Structures are given as C-alpha cells and as structure tokens.
C-alpha cells in the first residue's frame, strides 16, 4: 500500500465513523429527492395543462426536470461540500497530529492528494446515490440520456473543484467552522464573478471575469456541450487549488 492509499484508507475510515457524512449525506439526498419530485410534479402539471389546451402533450423532461435539477444541485453542493472538507487539515492542526503527519516519511503533495481523493470518493458515492432518480424516471418516461450524463460529468468536475477549494480553506486554519465559511465565501465569490462578467459586458475584461466563474462552464456541460475549454477550466482550477494547499501546508511548518 502506497502512502497515498494509506491516507485515503485512513480518511475514509475517519469519515464513516463520524456522524458528519451520514448527516450531510441524508440531508443532501433528501433535498435532491424532494427537488426532483417537485420538478417532475411541475412537469406533470404542465403536461396536463397542455393536454387540456391542445389535446396532446410533448414535454421535454431534459429541459423541465434535469436542467432545473442540475442547477439546484450546484447550489446545494456549494453549501454541503465545505462541511465535508472542513475537517481535513483543520482537525489535524487542532489535535496536533499535523506534526506527526509532516514528520512521517511522505511528501506534502502525497498528503494533499490523499486527503482530496478521500473526500472526493465520499462525494462520488453520494452523487452515485442520486443516480437512482434518472434510472427510476427512465422506467416511466422518455428522455435524452446524453445531456443527463454530461450533466453528471459537470457535477463531478464541479464537485472536485468545490472540494479542492475546501481543502485549501481547511489548510489555512485550525478552526473547522472558519474553514467551512472561508470555502463557502470563496465559492460564492467564484459564483458571483459570472454576474460581474455580465455587468462588464462583452469587453476583454468582462470575458476574462466570466471565464473565471464556474457558471458558464458548468452550464455548457448541463446542456450537453462537452467543450475542451470547459474541461481545461475545471482541471486547471483543481490543480491550482491543490497546489495552493500544498504551499499553505508547507508554510504552516514555519510559523
């Protein structure tokens, strides 16, 4: 077992013996389930209305359910993923195991990657459970699977980015609450950059600011558009956040 695998195994163990994952997971699945139910319900109501008006109804579940749902999950992730990441480094520093970790014969990037991978796996398992919804919906209706799958790809990439911001915030402090708020704040700023970009209009600065926000990149994927430009955004953002976490952890030794 490599050191990275050892860290992943240990972190997963820590996640699943604490109640946090179960609480966060249930709340996440409950809200996503409720939202999915509401969107399906509204789509049904709309179909009935169309039936009454036109005698027949062709409604698009991709537009009425999935695009709305993916839009909402984005916001839920922004709130709950920082709760999952906040303990990663802050707890080590609080409980003085940080020193032990840094005097173990492993590199700092192995620690950062191991911790990120562990929480990423937790996130993937939660996201995997939401996959039941499209599967169940597919039993009773017809929709285009392609944008649903690219939407899930978008969620995976978006989640990875959010988690890497959370890892960075957790490395910055030994207080878990502070870590959670810092990452929620950073993510909200990233979100609002899209609005600022629109405000600045079609100038070079406006475009650059919009590009920094995850909004349009994620929207492309939800609409079924897989563009290299968007993939590059997510991967470079992830790499930058993990690199910054590495620097922060490294510099924490000097204080």
Name which of 94 and 223 has its Cβ closer to another protein: 94
Q: Smallest distance from the beta carbon of 160 to another protein, in angstroms?
A: 25
Q: Which two tokens stand for residue 167?
A: 């890892």
Name which of 3 and 44 has its Cβ closer to another protein: 3
**Burial class of residue 146, CB neighbours in 10 A (0-12, 13-18, 19+):** exposed
Q: Smallest distance from the beta carbon of 169 to another protein, in angstroms?
A: 21
Name which of 42 and 100 has its Cβ closer to another protein: 100
- Which residues lie near another protein (CB under 8 A)? 1, 3, 5-7, 9-10, 13-14, 17-18, 95-97, 99-107, 253-255
Per-residue CA distances from 106 to 4, 6, 39, 84 (Å): 9, 11, 48, 24
Dist. CA 65–CA 70, nearest whole Å: 9
Q: Smallest distance from the beta carbon of 10 to another protein, in angstroms?
A: 5
Name which of 9 and 138 has its Cβ closer to another protein: 9
Q: Which two tokens stand for residue 134?
A: 């499209």
Q: Smallest distance from the beta carbon of 205 to another protein, in angstroms?
A: 39
Q: Are 176 and 90 in contact (CB under 8 A)?
A: yes
Nearest CA to 78 out of 12, 31, 17 is that of 31
Name which of 194 and 248 has its Cβ closer to another protein: 248
Q: Smallest distance from the beta carbon of 11 to another protein, in angstroms?
A: 10
Dist. CA 234–CA 80, nearest whole Å: 19
């Amino acid at each position: 077992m490599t050191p990275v695998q050892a860290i992943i195994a240990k972190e997963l163990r820590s996640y699943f013996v604490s109640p946090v994952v179960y609480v966060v997971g249930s709340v996440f699945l409950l809200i996503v389930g409720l939202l999915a139910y509401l969107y399906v319900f509204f789509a049904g109501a709309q179909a009935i209305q169309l039936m009454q008006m036109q005698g027949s109804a062709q409604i698009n579940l991709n537009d009425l359910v999935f695009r709305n749902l993916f839009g909402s999950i984005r916001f839920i992730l922004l709130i709950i993923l920082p709760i999952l990441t906040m303990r990663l480094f802050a707890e080590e520093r609080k409980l003085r195991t940080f020193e032990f970790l840094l005097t173990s014969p492993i590199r700092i990037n192995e620690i950062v990657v191991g911790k990120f991978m562990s929480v990423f796996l937790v996130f993937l398992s939660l996201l995997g459970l939401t996959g039941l919804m499209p599967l169940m919906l597919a039993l009773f209706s017809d929709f285009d699977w392609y944008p649903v799958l690219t939407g899930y790809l978008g969620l995976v990439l978006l989640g990875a980015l959010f988690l890497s911001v959370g890892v960075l915030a957790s490395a910055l402090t030994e207080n878990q609450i502070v870590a959670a708020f810092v990452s929620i704040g950073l993510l909200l700023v990233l979100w609002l950059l899209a609005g600022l970009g629109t405000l600045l209009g079609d100038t070079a600065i406006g475009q650059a600011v919009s590009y920094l926000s995850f909004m349009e990149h994620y929207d492309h994927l939800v609409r079924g558009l897989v563009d290299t430009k968007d993939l590059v955004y997510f991967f470079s953002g992830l790499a930058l956040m993990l690199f910054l976490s590495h620097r922060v952890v490294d510099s924490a030794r000097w204080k």
